[in-house]
Amino acid sequence: MAQQGLLILFLLALLCKVMCTRSHHQSTKDPFTSSNIDGRFCLSWRLAVETNNELPWRTVPNQCSQYVEDYLIHGQYERDLELIMEQALNYVNGIPLVGDGMDAWILDVDDTCISNIYYYKSKNYGCDPYDPPAFRAWAVKGWCTAIPSVLRLFNKLIDNGFKVILLTGRDKETLYQATIDNLHNQGYIGYDQLIMRTTTYKGQSAVMYKSNIRKQLEDEAYRIWGNVGDQWSDLQGNSSGNRAFKLPNPMYFVP
């Protein structure tokens, strides 16, 4: 009888150990735990953003702050940029230049040529609402760093004889010199034009503003072979160029 009691206690202890082990395994490996569900949602959300299906959106979902930080900081963002810019470089190498000085490429500035990741870190990687005065205060400091893969494309374009036109929604009245200095300090030297938003285009959407500028460039006989931007509004509209390259940006949306 005593032996049977000991056997029962042993079996109960073994069952308890199995159940505890299973519970621990599920809490650490089960793909349907809360954190992994958030991760899956955020991955799908970013895909919808990059394919321009999540419209409109004003801020990053709060549960995706860590996901966006990991994406931007831990290497995947750079790998994505490298792949896209490799495609652009391959395209550049196949373009037969006319040689009259009117073969052009357009590059956006913010989060295309230079990065605002360090600013958006202070804004919870886009979970906080857009703050125009705070962004202007950041931009005036000229602390944006070059995006290396885009800088390589820029230098290749210059070396090949393209006229590179930097087209940005930054306000010319308040940010003109700071933007020039920041670009120069980060290696963007030799571009044809830096075009910034003036009072003429105040209140216009980015799509309308950039479309109007590109149309003016075409009217001046520029041939726009390529157009690079981190926002769909950099690439949509009229006169968008022979080929467009969309860079990833899960931090903010510009209509």
> How many C-alpha atoms does 225 have within 13 Å on its Cβ side?
21
In-domain check, residue 38:
no
Does some domain include residue 29? no
Structural domain of 70: 58-246
Residue bearing the bigger pLDDT, 2 or 190 = 190
If pLDDT is split at 50, 70 and 90, which confidence band does 240 have? Answer: very high
Residue 46: which pLDDT band, with cuts at 50, 70 and 90?
A: very high
pLDDT band at 38 (very low <50, low <70, confident <90, very high): confident
Give the pLDDT of residue 39: 87
Examine residue 37 and state whether it is found in any structural domain, yes or no. Answer: no
- Residue 247 token pair: 């860079």
Q: Is the confidence at residue 4, as pLDDT, over 70?
A: no
Count of structural domains, the chain: 1
Q: Between 217 and 22, whose confidence is greater?
A: 217
Confidence of residue 14 (pLDDT cuts 50, 70, 90): low
Q: How far apart are CA 135 and CA 128, in angstroms?
A: 12
pLDDT above 90 covers what percent of the chain?
Answer: 84
The CATH number of the domain holding residue 88 is 3.40.50.1000
pLDDT digits (tens, 9 = 90+) for 75-111: 999 999 999 999 999 999 999 999 899 999 999 999 9
Closest to 113 measured CA to CA, from 81, 86, 135: 81
* Residue 32 predicted with pLDDT over 50: no
Query: What are the b/e assignments for 178-214, b being 16+ CB within 10 Å?
Result: bbeebbeebebeebbebbbbeeebeeeebbebbbbbb
Amino acid 17: pLDDT: 53
